Amino acid sequence: MAAHLLLRLSAFTGYCLAQTYFDTPPGGFRPFGPGYNRGAYPQDFSVVGQELEAIHDSQKPSTGLAVDNEHKLYLTYPRNASPTPSNVVVCTSFNDEQPWPNAAIQNCTAGQDPSTCFINVQNIVLDDKKRLWVVDSGIPYGKPSGSNATYGGAKLMSFNETTGDLIRTYIIPNNLLAHGMNMNDLRLNTTLGYAFMTDASRNSSLVAINLDDGSGVRRLFNESVVRADEKYVGSYDGELIYSWNGTQRNHITTAADGIALASGNFYWGVLASRRFYYISQEVLVDINKTDAEILAAVQNPGQCASEQAGFTADDRGRVYIAASEQNAIYYVDTLESQTNMTINGHAPGASGPVPANEYVVKTLIRNAMIQHADSMAILGGWLYFNTNQLELGPPYQYNNVDKRKGPFRSYRSGLDVGQLSSVVVTQSQTSHSSDLKYRMDQSPTGQCDRTRHTNRLHFIACEVMPIIHKHQDYVFHYHFQ
């Protein structure tokens, strides 16, 4: 059976570092140097995983991110700490953006129905039916922390991916908005027929909206599994992080934040903690379950050594976690069929879900350029994410100094071969590896005019794929011979 995969081939520029090595002293001690010990050289910061490809620079920090089926990038600029002229944008080049779906919807005017315009959009998400969804907290800029959302302003809105036309608005029921409910992140299960959201308020909760009738449930309100750690102190780029009001020191209280849907479960992380959890989606939306039964159904896989922002998941049950304390993206396999380790006596490759006590969180990417990855999306074998340097912002710095330095970059990185279906080759670049050695020379508008062979791969087609990027990429579909 032909196995499809995608590898990104890029030009490699060699470089040399002047290094001094010393003779091994008596006694057999090895000298300091790369490969001998950790921490002796600046380059010993452990860069893990695939390289990062910059795809967009923003002048302000974004929070939400989506990628449509044409690989267009969408970002949200929330109004939590400052006003923003455009709440949602589509990126039209590496540096340029325009309001999406239009300019008129970006700001509510005096007396306007708040359900018809953006108040404070937090995130944007693509579903499997070619619809883009935005989640609007409905809490206007300037309201004190903990304020309740404006009824009608707290909403979900779905739009046609291609035309940007509004399809439907779901107003969050008023009975769910008490105690400062602050909708933060969103995922859709169109088969089950529910939208799932995290509530990042201090008390926190998990929210689900029925996509048929618009009714909703709010679960786990003020429970420890959604609340921040007591007196939490995190770290960022080696510095401890507190909450500051001038010179008044406090602790960060951001609660349930990132969310992913995988293996029939709702996964979430508590930002001001190092904890993540999951619960069956069907259990969470069951209106016949008591609060005690819902809490008892929560699964705790253990801590993951970092506070977490965005979550996402692929179609193989792998959950990805943005780990800001580690400048990293983690992953964890939730299906036995995808595991490759024997854990607690259980061999890999079985069927069914991985038990919570056998979850092993691993590092997918670690790179100093990952400065608080906030939201993530997966498309065509690529992991997309934005960065916003959140912990360097005024709320987390003494005297509320803003230490963030733009531009704020969004990236993509290739995932492993099990998810890839194309090869991307930049014009007139050469790839060097033990398996792939060939050179491309194509005009930016030309089609491939000959088949390429290597000792392992047979290229069968090619096309030009536009992306928000400085150059044009060629996409080659191939299979193993």
The per-residue pLDDT for range 209-230, each reduced to its tens digit, is 999 999 999 999 999 999 999 9
235-243: list long-range contacts, CB under 8 Å, 24+ apart.
235/325, 236/324, 236/325, 236/372, 236/391, 236/392, 236/396, 237/327, 237/371, 237/391, 241/391, 241/396, 242/396, 243/395, 243/396
- Top pLDDT among 475 and 396 is at 396
Across 87-111, average pLDDT? 97
Q: Is the pLDDT of residue 194 over 90?
A: yes
Contacts of 357 (CB under 8 A, 6+ apart): 301, 302, 344
**Measured on CA atoms in the order 251, 247, 140, 118, is the torsion positive or negative?**
negative
pLDDT at 26: 56
For residue 191, the enclosing domain spans 51-414
> What secondary structure does DSSP assign to 134-168, as a single string?
EEE----TTPPTTPPPPTTTSEEEEEETTT--EEE
432 and 401 in a single domain? The answer is no
Q: Is the pLDDT of residue 292 over 60?
A: yes
Give domain status of residue 32, yes or no: no
114 and 228 in a single domain? The answer is yes
141 and 176 in a single domain? The answer is yes
Q: Is the pLDDT of residue 31 over 90?
A: no
How many C-beta atoms lie closer than 10 Å to residue 306's C-beta? 23
Give domain status of residue 147, yes or no: yes
User: Taking all residues of the chain, what is their mean pLDDT, rounded to a whole number?
Assistant: 82
- The enclosing domain of 239 has a CATH number of 2.120.10.30
C-alpha distances (whole Å) from 221 to each of 202, 309, 379 are 10, 20, 33
Share of the chain above pLDDT 70, in %: 77
Q: Is the pLDDT of residue 185 over 90?
A: yes
330 and 438 in a single domain? The answer is no
Q: Is the pLDDT of residue 161 over 70?
A: yes
Give domain status of residue 42, yes or no: no
CA angle 301, 306, 309 (to 5 degrees): 90
Give domain status of residue 342, yes or no: yes
Share of the chain above pLDDT 90, in %: 72
78 and 211 in a single domain? The answer is yes
pLDDT at 81: 83
Across 417-445, average pLDDT? 32
470 and 354 in a single domain? The answer is no
385 and 448 in a single domain? The answer is no
- Lowest-pLDDT range of 135-139, 198-202, 459-463: 459-463
Give domain status of residue 92, yes or no: yes
Distance of CA 450 to the CA centre of its chain: 38
**Domain finish residue from 414, 441, 456:** 414
Q: How many domains does the chain have?
A: 2
Give the pTM. 0.81
183 and 118 in a single domain? The answer is yes
- Top pLDDT among 190 and 475 is at 190
Instruction: Report the candidate in 6, 8, 5 with the shortest Cα–Cα distance to residue 473.
Output: 8
Whether residue 26 has a cis bond before it, omega within 30° of 0: no
408 and 440 in a single domain? The answer is no
408 and 481 in a single domain? The answer is no
**Domain finish residue from 414, 431, 463:** 414
Pairing of strands 216-219, 205-210: antiparallel
Which residue type does 479 have? H
**Domain finish residue from 362, 380, 414:** 414
pLDDT at 444: 31
Q: How far apart are CA 465 and CA 481, in angstroms?
A: 25
Across 303-325, average pLDDT? 96
pLDDT at 427: 31
Q: Which two tokens stand for residue 33?
A: 């140097």
Q: How far apart are CA 86 and CA 107, in angstroms?
A: 8
pLDDT at 27: 55
Across 413-430, average pLDDT? 46
pLDDT grade for 343, boundaries at 50, 70 and 90: very high
189 and 306 in a single domain? The answer is yes
pLDDT at 411: 96
Give domain status of residue 365, yes or no: yes
Question: Three-state DSSP class for 452?
Answer: coil
Q: Is the pLDDT of residue 130 over 70?
A: yes
Give domain status of residue 28, yes or no: no
Across 164-180, average pLDDT? 95
pLDDT at 142: 82
Give domain status of residue 18, yes or no: no
Instruction: Report the candidate in 201, 200, 191, 199 with the shortest Cα–Cα distance to residue 216.
Output: 199
Q: Is the pLDDT of residue 59 over 70?
A: yes
193 and 212 in a single domain? The answer is yes
Q: How far apart are CA 143 and CA 79, in angstroms?
A: 10
